[in-house]
Amino acid sequence: MTSIIPKNDRQQALRLRRFFIGAASYAMWLILIMYCHYLGFSRLSYGWTLVAFGFVIGINILLYILFRTGLNKKFTDPSLTFPQMAIAALAAMVAVYFTDNIRGVMLIAYIVTMLFGIFRFNLVQYILFTIFSVMCYGTVILLLLNNHPNTITLRVEILQLVVFATILTWFSMVGNYIRQIRKKLSATNYRLNNALNTIQELASHDDLTRAYNRRQMYEELNREKAKADRTGGCFSIALFDLDHFKKINDTYGHLKGDDVLKHLIHTISHEIREIDSISRYGGEEFIIIMSGTDAKGAEECAGRIKNTIENLKFPGFPESFCITISTGITTYCPVESIDELIARSDVAMYKAKSMGRNQVVTEMTV
């Protein structure tokens, strides 16, 4: 079922919420105009009043269709702020034209219209809208002088026009000031969110390789352990170490050694699933956590990674340069501790090294 407001497009959902705020304002003023008509303050007949209402409702339905179909995105301003405000302004001026004795009171509708511009308008746009509104009111005065001169006092109307223009100009400056504050707050929030994301990244990831750090590794392992204990499922870990890594540092320098680690972990991270994770256990030792994976599946994954690393080329190193890894695999047994699990994988890894390195060894409980 299609929702009234899209859930997969945050910006479009925000525009539609603003549109509904505007639509609610129309509904409020339509009720007030009907009340004015009931009290006898409007010269517009019931028939024409209903036609005007139908026109306003039709325009709002059209605007909703533009938003809901995404056609609004083809415009420079996808929010369609100026068209919506212009329609509201014209509707207000129609009400002003047909309500003689309370014409000044009906101009209050413009405050609601101007508030809507705070979401999008800058000072220039506000001033343009103010000029548009003053011209509309001036047109109303001219039409009244021509068609209903007995309902208008020119001096009073000119005074109202001057006051109207002054208030809208003042509101334009205040509205623009509020918009600037909102803009600065948004920028500040954006920077704070970025800073928070950076802090969270630093708190959970290794600075060099961008793999999870030791603290985050234990959080991931405890999460997998809790899930396995609760559901009776399983998970496996693969502890691997770079063979003869000290020789790489001694030959090429520690900076080049760092490049090897970064390129290696970047490659391995693309060899595992999104639900799996890789963490730096210490130095050149890393642990891969394989969620919902038994020993056989872990062996297949580790074997694939081993073969990939054997043939991996490293930028900035001789063509003949290559590295290998020794890997120890184990699968979680219910109720055992995380330290016991890691210790078993450590035993398996050292068995792989004692067998000549570049091996994958699985160690299971008896």
Which pLDDT does position 1 carry in this prediction? Answer: 43
DSSP characters over 159-197: HHHHHHHHHHHHHHHHHHHHHHHHHHHHHHHHHHHHHHH
Half-sphere exposure of 114 (CA within 13 A, CB side): 28
pLDDT value, residue 214:
94
Q: Which residues of the chain have pLDDT under 50?
A: 1, 366
Beta strands in the chain (DSSP E): 235-242, 277-282, 285-291, 325-331, 360-362
Q: Which amino acid is at 323?
A: I
Residues 6 or more apart in contact with residue 106 via CB below 8 angstroms:
36, 92, 95, 96, 99
> For 8-19, what is each residue's pLDDT tens digit?
888 888 888 888
Q: What is the pTM of this model?
A: 0.59
pLDDT in tens, 174-227: 888 888 888 899 899 999 999 888 888 888 999 899 999 999 999 999 999 999
Answer for the pair 277, 288: CB distance below 8 angstroms, yes or no.
Answer: yes
User: CATH number for the 214-362 domain, one of 3.40.50.150, 3.30.70.270, 1.20.140.10, 3.30.70.100?
Assistant: 3.30.70.270
Q: Which of 95, 91, 104 is nearest to 35 (CA)?
A: 95
Cα dihedral: 193, 196, 197, 198 (round 10):
120
Our answer to whether residue 271 is catalytic in this structure is no
Burial code of 135-173, b = ≥16 C-beta within 10 A, e = fewer?
Answer: ebbeebbeebeeeeeeebeeeebeebbeebbeebeebbe
> What is the per-residue DSSP string for 37-96?
HHHT---S-HHHHHHHHHHHHHHHHHHHHHHHHTGGGGSSSTT-HHHHHHHHHHHHHHHH
Q: Tokens standing for 191? A: 């920077």
**Using only C-alpha atoms, what is the Rg of the chain?**
35
- Spot the catalytic one: 220, 284, 299, 363: 284
Domain range annotation of the chain: 10-197, 214-362
